[in-house]
Structure 1
Amino acid sequence: MGLGNSFLMNLAMLVTVAYLANVLYKYWFLKTPRRINYVLSVLLMIFSGWICMRFGFKLSDNVIFDLRFVPLLIATAVYSQPLTLVVIGFGIGLVRFTFGVTEAALAGFLNLTILGIVCAGINIWMQRSNFRFVIKGAIAILIVNAVNTINIAVFGVIPFRKYMLEIMPVVLPLGIVLSIVFAMMLRDFQLDRRRSIELKHANELLQSQTEELQKAKLALEERAQQLALASRYKSEFLANMSHELRTPLNSIINLAQMISENYPEKDSGSADYGRIICRSGQELLQIINDILDLSKVEAGRLEIVQEEVNVKELPQLLYLQFEQTARQKGVGFDISTASDLPATIISDPQRIGQILRNLLSNAFKFTDKGNVRMEIYKVQANARGRGEYIAFAVKDTGIGIPPDKHKVIFEPFHQGDGSISRKYGGTGLGLPISRHLACLLGGWIDMESQEGEGSTFILYLPRSPHVQASGLPPAAEDKAMFAGRGISG
C-alpha cells in the first residue's frame, strides 16, 4: 500500500470514528454525567490517533507515517481548556509505544507531546482572536503540519537529507490537504448535528407552547361558558324583575295622578306632591323599560314585528308628544317631510317610535336654546346598504359631543362625561338600545356633532325588510358590544 493510499485509509478511519462518536453521543453520552463524557471524549481522541497509526504507511519495521496529528488538530477547535490538548498529545504519543518500544517510537512520542503543547498555544490564540473561524482553522492546520514536519526532520530516525528531499515533499502537502478535507467534513457534520439539535429544541418548544395554548383554549372556553351562563341568568333575572317592578309602579303612577287631579285648589301643595310623584314614577318606569329592553338584547329575545308603517302619520304623532316639552324649554321645534316620501314602509312601528323618541328626548334634554328639528327624506343606497332608505334626521343646537366621545355614547351606561349625567340625568341606555333596534330593523344610525355646535343623529331604515345594511347583519355589531358587559351599578 502506497503512502497516499495509507493516508486516505487514515482519513476513512477518522470519518468512521467520527460517525461512531456521533452514535455514541446520541444514544449514550446524553444519558451519562458531563464529567464522564469529557473523559470519554479525550480517550476517543487518543484512540483516533492510535487508529491512524494502526492503518498508517510503514516505511520500515519501526517507521510509520500517518495522520495521527489530525485528531489533535480537531481537538484544538473543540476543547476550551488548553491543558486538555497537552493531555491528548501526550496520550497519542504514548500509544505509539503499543507498536514497539523503539527509537522511532520515542521520536513519535516526543513529536506528539510537542504538538500537544503547540496546539494548546494555538487554542489560547483562537479564543482571544477576532478572526473568522475559517481563517483561524486554516492557520492552525498550517502551523501543526509545519511543526510536525520539523519535528520529524529533527527528531526522526530517517536521515535529514533523505526526508527533506524524498518524503517531505509528498507527506507535507498530502497532510495539509487531507487535514483540510477532514476538518471541512467534520465541520459540516458538526453544523448538521447542531441544526438537528436546534430543530429538536424548536420542536420541543413548539410542542410545549401548543400544549399551553390548548390548556389556555380549554380554560377560555370554560370561562366563556361560565360567562354565557351567568349572562343568561342575569338577563332572565332582570327581565323577570323588570316585569315585577312595573306592576306596583304603574299603581303608584295612577294613584299619584288621582291625587294631583282630585285635591281641591286650596290644598294645592298635595296636588303638587302628587304631580312630582307621578313624574318621578314615569321617569323610573322609563328606566325600567330601558333595562328590560337591554336584558332582552343580551338574551337575544327582542322580537321585531313587520307590518305597514304610515310614514305620513309619524311626524304628527311625534310633534304632539314633544310640543309641550319644546314650549316648556323655550326652544323651537318643527318637523319637515320630503314631498317624494312613500306613503308606507314595511317595518316595526313600535320600535321606530322608540328610536325616534329616544333621539328627540336627547335632543331636547341637551338643548337649552335654539331649536330642535326633524327632517324625513328618501335616500338611495350608499356604501353601508343597498336599495332605497328612509332617513330620519334629528338636529339640535345643544351642547354637542366631542369627537373622541362619538363611539363611547353608543356603549351601555356611558354618556359624554360624568358631569353630563349629574346635570342632565339619564342612564346612558337610550342610544345603545336605539342603535341595536336600528340594526334589527335592517338600518343603522349615523351621527355628526361638534362640541358646542349641536348634534345630528340620522336613522336610516329600508323601505322593505329584505333590504339590509351591507356588512351589518341584525345586531351583529351590537351583540359584540353588549356581550359580557351586563348591568352594573
Structure 2
Amino acid sequence: MEYLKIFFVNTALLITLAYLGNLIYKNTITYAPEQVKKLSWVLVAIFAGWVSSFFGYRLDENVIFDLRIVPLIISTLAYPQPFILILIGVGTGITRLTFGVNEAAMAGVINLSILGFVCAGLSLWVSRSAASLRFKRLTVILIVNLINAVNILIFGVIPDRIYLTEIMPVTLSGGLVLSLLFALIIRDFQLELMRNGQIVRANELLSSQTEELHKNKIVLEERAKQLMLASQYKSEFLATMSHELRTPLNSIINLSQLIEENRDSLSSEETGEYAGIIHRSGEDLLLLINDILDLSKVEAGKLDINKEDLSVSEIPELLALQFSVAARLKGLEFKVTQAAEVPEIIHSDPQRVQQILRNLLANAVKFTTEGSISLNIRTIEQKDGALLRRWIVFDVQDTGIGIAPEKHDIIFEAFQQADATIGRKYGGTGLGLSISNDLARLLGGFITLHSEEQQGSRFSLYLPL
C-alpha cells in the first residue's frame, strides 16, 4: 500500500510540474527558436524524473521506488525524437546519483539509460506507424513498464524472490495504472500546446499573406500608373501620327488638285517642282507606313530575318551617300571611321542592319543643330562566364540635344518615347528607336545608349561575330 501512496504523490507532483511547465512554455518560450524548445523539454523532463525520485518510496537506505520513467514515457508520446529521448533517459539516470553513489544508484543509471534507448526505438515506431494514437500510447506504456521491471530484476539489488512475489506485482500494476492516468491528463496539455502552435502558425501565415497582399497592392498600383502612362503616350503617339500622316497627304492632295485645275496655265518648271514635292511627300508617307508595319510585325513575331554574307566595307559608303548631304545642309561635319581589325564580311541581314543604322543616323541628324555626327565601326571581345564572345560594334555619335538619364530606360519602348513636344519641334513618329531595338534583338545583338542632356548621344549597335 505504501508503494501506491508514494506513486500517487509522484503523480500529483508530476501533474503540478506539467502544469507549471505549460504556463512557463506559453509565457516565455512559445516564440523561442526550435533548439531552445528542445533543450527546455529535455531539462524539464530530467528535472521531473529527479523530483519523482526525491519523493519516491525508500525501501531501505539505498533502494528508491518512484515514477521517474513517466516523463520518459510522456516524452516518447509527445516529442518522438530519438536523440532527445536518449538524453532524457541517460540524464534522468545520472540524477539518481545525487542521492548517493552505490550499487542501487548505478543500477538506476543503467536502467534509465537502457529505457532511453528503448524509447528512442519506440519513438521511430510512433512517428511512422499508421496505428491509432490510443494504441500507440498503450503499447509504449506497457513496453516501458515491462522493461523497467525486467531491468530492476536483472540489475537491481533486491533479491529476485522478494521482488517477484512482493514488490513487482504492486509496483508494475500501479505504475501501469498511474502511467495511463498521467498520460490522459498530459494529453490535454499536449492538445493545448498543439492548438497554441496552430494559432501561432495561423498568425504567421496571416501575417505573411497580409505582407504579400501589401506587396501585390504596391505592384498593382505601379502597374496602374504604367497603364495610365502607356495610355497617355499612345494618345500622344496617335496625335503625332495623325499630324505626320496628314502633312504628306495634304501636300499630295492639294498639289495634285492644283496641277489638275491649272494644268494649262502652269509652266513646266512649276509642274516639275510640284511633282517633286508630291514625290517626296509620297516617300515620307511610305516611310511612316513601313515603320508602323515593321512595329506590328515585330510585336506579332512575324518579321522575317534573312541572314547572308554582308560586306562591312560597303555600309559606310551607302550611308555616307545618304547622310553626308543632309549633314552638310545643316552645317554639320559627318565622319565615318572603321578599325583595321573589323572583318570584311559578317553573317547577318543586310537590309535590317542598314535599317537600324539609318534610323540611328537620321535621329542624329534630326536632333543635332551644330557640331558633328560620326559613325565608327569596331570590334570588341566580352567574357560571358567561361565563354569569350566577339562583337562588331557600330557607334553613332552626335553633339545634339542629348537624352536625360531618367529617360534612358523608356527611350526604346514603343509609344513612350513619342514626346509630343519633341514631335512638334522635330517631327517624326518616334517609332524608329523601338523598331531598331527589336530588330537588333532579332539579329542576336542589342543597342546601348550613352547620353546626357545637351551633351550629345552615342548609340551603339552590337552584332555577334
* TM-score between both structures, scaled by the size of structure 1: 0.46
* TM-score between both structures, scaled by the size of structure 2: 0.48
Of the two structures, which has the highest relative contact order with CA contacts closer than 8 Å and spacing of 6 or more? 2
